[in-house]
Structure 1
């Protein structure tokens, strides 16, 4: 089905494992599959067996089989949909180096911790990129007390222009593979057009980006919805955003391993540009 971009697969058990792996191996180079396999614990496996009437099998065996054929495994229902959303909205990522730009230090640290837990790299920026941010400080375009080593913390003085300038530098850095934008909307000088500025900027590059605005207020929902409509998957929490980025990285790594990254990436971008 050409209109199906991502396959979300819920399973309590897989009766014919060999057939599943054969089919998945053919599908995953062309289309991502995210699996939610329940029954991880002994009690959960017993419940799954009583529900389906079949033996659930060792959870480690399922994880190993999924990994062999490029199926991405979600740990829970929230991550299941978070991963699917990222893979439908953004192209896969070719490396593990992630940059984070935020207007609040706490959420930035939360994103860093989850990125590292997911096996991603949040390393210090190159000297060239750090120098570009220092120049913005000298020109008064971002606060002098902003941090710019990774994450970039534009602080509570942030404006839409600052987000745009900062994100542009990250897009231009060849050592950065993916970008996480944490835009907390409640800061006094920040206008909602920062969403449009970031989205418009992303069209000029092929680097993947995910976003987050924390909370369930009407404005937070609006900001996330705006990002979504402009093709950037937006999440409720920094951790969700990091898991979305991890899905893009893990699928990209699998595609590179099987020699299909360039072909899938080209197909994805062509489809995205037509939409």
Structure 2
């Protein structure tokens, strides 16, 4: 008898559950906004700490610093290439464009601050040319050295947690609201610097140095949710990636420029100038 009652009760519970779930289908799903994106700003600027200068000015032909930069193409970036591009990254642009905008500011500032660094050491700057082929004979003849800086910047992205948009099952009959999903991660940056010094008339390499700076890291997070139009439309919000990347590169910029400053040692270049003169004399036939 008890088994029969339990069986009937189970059937009744199952029937009621089915009815409740059927009723819930009449509640139109809604999607909670992931929130506004924080504003961000950045400034790549370096003021050289001039501990010593050249006693006698030397003339330097500068070649624009060359950059090899890689940034995330997977994880937090790639997920948005399948999403509505109007919302990707949360700044009305896609992730790649936002990254490149920040990195573009980084490299442009470095070129200008590199020139300021040289003049602070009492170097005369002929001009910054695009490459060796762009330098005129007159520019090369007037210069004691030609200097080229190469920068390799590797930006990594490690995802530490990720959740999908979800709804509160307890309130599904009333609201059927989806809360945003979220993702957290860590940006990292590693930088390698190489500097090459040439005798500009012969393009003979005189001196080269390279080093790798200490890796830096910065946390980020963002939220995202469906727009309700279809399964391919999303909105990103509360997105700190741009702010985190800019903050990370500001720290890296200071680090890189400090290291470049140590390379431009006036005493070392005074000795190198004697070597450069000998190379030029031999090349022009003054010394046989």
TM-score bracket, normalised by the shorter chain, equals: under 0.3
Higher strand fraction (1 or 2): 2
Higher helix fraction (1 or 2): 1
Structure-2-length-normalised TM-score: 0.21
Higher relative contact order (CA 8 A, sep 6+): 2
